[in-house]
Amino acid sequence: MNFKLFDNYTNMDELQELMVNENQTIFFSTHITTDLDQIADEIVFIYNGQIYLHESIEDIREQFYLVKGAKSQLDADLKNLFLGYKVTPQGFTGLMQGQHELFYNMNVAAGLGDLGDLGDVGACHRQNSTIAEEFVIEPASLEDIMYFMTRGGN
């Protein structure tokens, strides 16, 4: 097994050529998350000496997503579902891991059941809609994940 270590390596073409050899491990540090999205098999996110995340890139893509909505929808129960969140004059954005299906399966009138109420569920004014129709739910990028895990709201 061959092991290579790079610190803030910027020549991605050369790095991709090195990756052709499957009998080696390449470890590199970078602050350019788009590079990681394109070439990494596994991510270890270390911040201030602490490992925040150690997952395959495939698992990260499947597990993390952003939820966006109106400020009036963001209450303490919903905040507790987020790994991090941010509030702006336009609304909120929160990072969630797993469980995004709960937004698609819950009726607005029912709220989130044993996960708590979504705050003023009346703000979700269509009685026969699902909660997912009241929020924007989208995959999170590595940059989103790293931001919300270290600086996001809570």
pLDDT tens, residue by residue, 55-98: 999 999 889 999 999 998 888 888 888 999 999 999 999 999 98
Spatial separation of the C-alpha atoms in residues 49 and 72, rounded to whole Å: 36
pLDDT at 118 over 60: no
Q: Are strands 2-7 and 24-29 parallel, antiparallel or unpaired?
A: parallel
C-alpha 145, offset from chain centre: 4
Q: What is the pTM of this model?
A: 0.70
What is the distance of C-alpha 97 from the center of its chain? Answer: 6
Q: What is the pLDDT of residue 26?
A: 77
- Angle (nearest 5°) at CA 120 between 116 and 121: 75
Q: Which of the two residues, 26 and 117, has the higher pLDDT score?
A: 26
DSSP state of 124: S
What integer pLDDT is reported at residue 127 of this predicted model? 44
User: What pLDDT sits at residue 58?
Assistant: 92
Each domain of the chain, given as residue ranges in start order, spans 2-61, 62-150
Is pLDDT at 110 greater than 60 in this prediction? no
Mean per-residue pLDDT for 22-34?
76
Question: How would residue 104 be classed by pLDDT, with cut points 50, 70 and 90?
Answer: low
